[in-house]
Structures are given as C-alpha cells and as structure tokens.
A and B are shown apart, each in its own frame.
Chain A
Amino acid sequence: MSSAVISSAVLSTAVMTGAGHVGSAVSDDLWSQLFNFDNYGELVALLINSILAGAVLGLVGGLIGVFVMSRDMAFAVHGISELSFAGASAGLLLGVGVVQGSLVGSLIAALVIGILGSRARDRNSITAVLMPFGLGLGILCLALYPGRSSNKFGLLTGQIVAVDNPQLGWLVVIAVIVIAGLLVVWRPMMFSSVDADVAAARGVPVRGLSIVFMLLLGLSVAVSVQIVGALLVLSILVTPAAAALRVSSSPVVVPVLSVVFAMVSMVGGIMLALGGSIPISPYITTISFTIYVVCRVIAAVRTRRGISGRTPTELAGHAAILGS
C-alpha cells in the first residue's frame, strides 16, 4: 500500500538531485528540467502504477469524449472541472481526502448542469455562472489550508506524483464504473445525443440517459482532475475525441481513435515527464494538441483532394422499393 508514497518521495529526491548538478549552460539546464532520462528504468518501475492509472484515464477520457463532442458539452466539462477543483480543495482543507472531495464537487456540478441546462443555451449560461464560483470556492479553501503549497498547485495543473496508492485504487474503481456504464448505454446514448426527438419517439429514455451521462461525466472529470489538474481536463476529455472526429465519422473508428489518442497523450506525457522536474500536464497537453493539429491537417488535405466517401452508382435515381 505504501509503495507509491515511498516511490513519490524517492522520485522527488531523484528529481531534486538530478536538477541539482546540471551544467552551467542555461539551455542544458532547461533541457534537463524538461527531459532527464537518468536512471529511467528504475523510475518507470517505481511509477508503474501511475503509468497504468494514466492509461486507464486515457481509456475513460477517450470514450466519454466522443459523447462530450456529440452532445456539444465541452464548455460544461470545463465548468464541472472547476467545481471538482473546489471539492478537492475542500477535501484537502477538511481532511476528508482530495479524491472524495473532487468526486462530490463534480457530481454536484454535473447534476446541476444536467438538470437545469437541458437546452444548450441554458447549459452555457449555467456553466458560466458555476465556473467562477467553483474556482473562487477552491481558492478560498486552499488559502485556508495550512499545508504545502505544491499540493495546492497540483490540483489546478496536475501532478502524478501527488497520487498515492489508495488514490490509485479509487481512480481505477471509478474508471471501471464509467467504462462499464458507457458500454451499457452506448447505443441509446448515441441515438439520444444525435437525434433526441426521434430517439424519444422510439422509446429511448432520453431524459434519464442525459442524467446518467452527466453522472458518468462527473465521475470522469473527478478522475481526470487528480492527474492532469482542473485547468487541463479538456485536454483529455475533449481534444482526443475532437481530433478523432476530424479524420473519421464511423461510430467504430471514432471511439477507437479517440481512446488511442488519449492513451498516447497520457502515457506518453507521463513517460516523458518522469525524469524532468516539471508537472506532467504540459507534456500531456502538448502531445494531445499535436495530435489534434495533425488530424486537422489530414482532414484539410482530404478535403482539398475531394475525398468525400461518395460512391457513384449507376442505379442512383432508380427507385428500389423497400421490402417485398
């Protein structure tokens, strides 16, 4: 149980000593702050749990991101993450735990936005109202918290070394709930996301599904805040799915690509960050942003070449009558 706590202590020491005897040149110094692969194998072994947590988060973010995009809820995600930050700060201050606090914060925010903001316009204004309130509440709690300031900063910008073993347990359990939930509601959720009226006419419980979605989203945000920080949650819950939608519209390819992009960003970011002395989030956000840019370029090239997916048929225009 305590191995991750020890490992983070070891890592901090390693980072500090690593940063301590760097050469005099400024560029060398910056480089070694960014990337330092001394004793890399040992670091990976020590932080294998964190890497696994990153992979799980990539899976969660990549999957739920597809629905965040198709329900047009990117801004709501940001709002929920600020409330999650407030919850985490309160959890830190009151000593009930960061994960528990952030869970409560994001679930409350997700439910409020889900219940009051069923229409896009309402949702945006409610999110915009909640967001600064949450951030303010979080800052208040942190200002009152007497502990170390690096912990405080980590909630906003993320720090994998702040995650200890019991926290990792929480993260994995929450992630499993989200993924299982998404798999169960996948098809009717997609139906009601893209076509609420027709889905309702076909008996899909549109209203209930939207509440279920907000709860799953709240859980996903709470998990993400632990690792990438409240300000950067979008990079894992929105960017990978947005990138995937640039290059495909297939309901199979989009979630698969989105998960791959999110996992590459998460795991790649953590691996690159291991030896440096900087939080992991810049690595994650840079990788996910780069993937998005590449996908846009691919889409632009395709459009220029006129690839549309249409297949001219000789029969077009001749009516075939459905059924017998």
Chain B
Amino acid sequence: MDTPVLSLRDATLGFAERTLWSGLDLDVHPGEFIAVLGANGSGKTSLLKVILGQNNLSGGDVSFLGAPVTRGNRRIGYIPQQKLADEGTPLRARDLVALGLDGHRWGIPLPSKKRRAKVDGVLAAVEASEYARVPISTLSGGEQQRLRVGQALADNPRLLLCDEPLLSLDLAHQRAVSELIDRNRRTRKIGVLFVTHDINPVLDLVDRVLYLAGGTFRIGTPDEVLRSDVLSELYGSPVDVIRTRGRIVVVGTAEAPQAHPDGLHAAHDEHHDPGHADEYVHEVKPL
C-alpha cells in the first residue's frame, strides 16, 4: 500500500484528569476516506486540532507526510462547520475560495491571470461558478459549504480534515457536499478524515470508520465497527445497531454514556429537510 499521508502511533490525548483517547494507531492513506464518529466530548474535534498542530498529544507521535505535524500546514485542507457569514463580510464567493489559495500571504492580493484561472477552476470543480461574484452573506448554507470545500481544495492538499461539514444542511446539500469531497479525494488521492455525528450521509462513501468512545476507540470498515457487540463493548453497556433501508441507527440505553446528547438532536432536527421528515423523525443518530 502507498505511504500514509498521516500516521498516529500510540497517540494519547488528555486534558488534566481526563483522557479522551489513548493508544491510538491510525494511518490515513492517499485517497482514503475515514469517518470519525463518537459522542459529544469524545475528542473528535480535538483529534483534528492535534493534526493541525493546535493541540499537543499527551503521549505518542503524529506525523504528516513523514514529518512531525506543525502549526498550520499548507498541505492540509480544513472544512469547518457551516456557519452563515454576516453582512459585514466584504467577500464574494470567489474571494472566499481565493483565501484558501493565498490568504496566508502578507500584503495585498495582486490580480494575476494565473490566480484567476486557478480560482475559476476550483469554482467549477465545486459547481459554484454560477454565483462566483455573489456576496457570500447572501448565499444559502449549502452554497457556502460548497465554497468551503473549494477553499480547502484550492491549494492542492494531501489531507482534508472535515469537522461536521454537513451540520445544518438539508439532505440534498448533505449529499452534494459529501459527493464533492468523495470525487475529489478519489481523483486527486487526498486522504480524508471526516468528523460527523451521523454516518448515514457518507455511509456508502467511507472506507473505514474510527469510533471514539469511553476513552478508547475502534477502527475498521463500517461493517466491522458499527455492530451491536462492538459498540456495546466500546461503551461498556448495551447498544443496538440497527440496519434498516441502507441506514444505520444506533440505539443506546440509559446506561450508555451520553447516549442521547440533546445537542445533537437539536442541531439536527432544527435544520433537516421537512420533505424527508418521515424518514428521519424516528431515527436515533449514532452515539
């Protein structure tokens, strides 16, 4: 197999008395799509911060392209949660993408044909050419999130870190944004770490799943990890994994820690597409 873009060896992360996870061995290979699942507070976002060099491991090693991680590596693309840009933002769609290309450089951006062409190419790749010159504050959440994908892809990353990029998008946009990420990781051999509380929108796209819970973790294909026995062992209490119509539903019991974090449901129910309410209303998200 190819040399991994990202390697964690015996990695442990903890704050003060609490260990989020320990002994984590993970290799992300070029073009590999790995979903990171787990309850709120299980250390999913902290894992991304470790890779971005913003948090330090309490033990073990993390290396990116064979070297220890540094703060702000330009070969890593980052896609955060969707948040609506406000009105005081002097940027159009293409300017947001351009920041991903050279926003870290000092001085004022000078117009160049090469830069224009590059930004146009990215906009086409994320199907955003139509609103290239529209102020981002007037774009919908789904449109803004496409631009985020473009921004993260603009500088040819080897690894994409996605932190709940589908949150608060409707089902159609969840699908569109996931497929954009999937298509680009395949054609350009980009490793993807995709933090999400809901595996279903990306279930058929992911190669492996990293499930963080109870201070420990499981890694494997969705079929290997998303099983009642595996998750029950991980949580130390009975958990049912139900597969229905191509979806995975994880049902925790009252004993399972944070089985029903209110925040997750609130965040999801508030925004999901009313047209699909029937499919989703009785579904419990993975823990």
Contacts and interface: CB of A to CB of B under 8 A. Distances in A.
Nearest to B148: A198
Contacts, number: 148
Interface in A193-231: 194-195, 197-204
B107 A187 contact: yes
A184 to B, nearest CB: 6
B144 to A, nearest CB: 11
B173 interface: no
16 contacts: A66-B90, A184-B107, A188-B104, A194-B91, A194-B96, A197-B80, A200-B72, A249-B137, A251-B95, A251-B109, A309-B92, A318-B127, A321-B184, A322-B124, A322-B125, A322-B184
A249 B103 contact: no
Contacts of A66: 90
B134 interface: yes
Contacts of B247: none
Interface string A283-324: 000000000000000000000000011111101111111110
Contacts of A311: 129-133
Nearest to A197: B80
Given A249-B135, A309-B131, A199 B103 contact: yes
B56 interface: no
A118 to B, nearest CB: 15
A194 B106 contact: no
B100 A202 contact: yes
Interface residues of A, number: 46
A149 interface: no
Contact of B88 (A183, A195, A245, A308): A245
A194 B151 CA distance: 13
B85 interface: yes
B178 to A, nearest CB: 13
A46 interface: no
Contacts of A203: 71-74, 104
B87 interface: yes
B76 interface: yes
A200 B89 contact: no
A209 to B, nearest CB: 11
A69 interface: yes
Contacts of B156: 323
Nearest to A308: B134
A198 B90 contact: no
A197 B184 CA distance: 22
Given A69-B90, A190-B103, A198-B151, 12 more contacts: A194-B89, A197-B80, A198-B100, A200-B72, A202-B104, A203-B71, A245-B90, A309-B131, A309-B135, A321-B187, A322-B125, A322-B188
A38 interface: no
Contact of B130 (A186, A188, A316): A316
B185 to A, nearest CB: 11
A255 B108 CA distance: 12
Contacts of B124: 315, 320, 322
Contacts of A320: 124-125, 127
A250 interface: yes
Given A202-B74, A322-B187, A188 B121 contact: no
B78 A187 contact: no
B252 to A, nearest CB: 30
A310 B130 contact: yes
A312 B104 contact: no
A218 B161 CA distance: 37
B188 A323 contact: yes
**Top 9 nearest A-B pairs by Cβ distance?**
A203-B72, A322-B125, A249-B135, A191-B103, A201-B78, A69-B88, A254-B90, A320-B124, A309-B134
Contact of A317 (B102, B127, B161): B127
B78 to A, nearest CB: 4
Q: Give the residue among A187, A201, A309 with the most B Cβ atoms within 10 A.
A: A201
B78 A184 contact: no
A195 B107 CA distance: 18
Given A249-B135, A321-B184, A72 B130 contact: no
B72 A204 contact: yes
Contacts of B108: 183, 186-187
Contacts of B91: 190, 194, 249, 251
A167 to B, nearest CB: 30
B167 interface: no
B183 A319 contact: yes
A61 B99 CA distance: 24
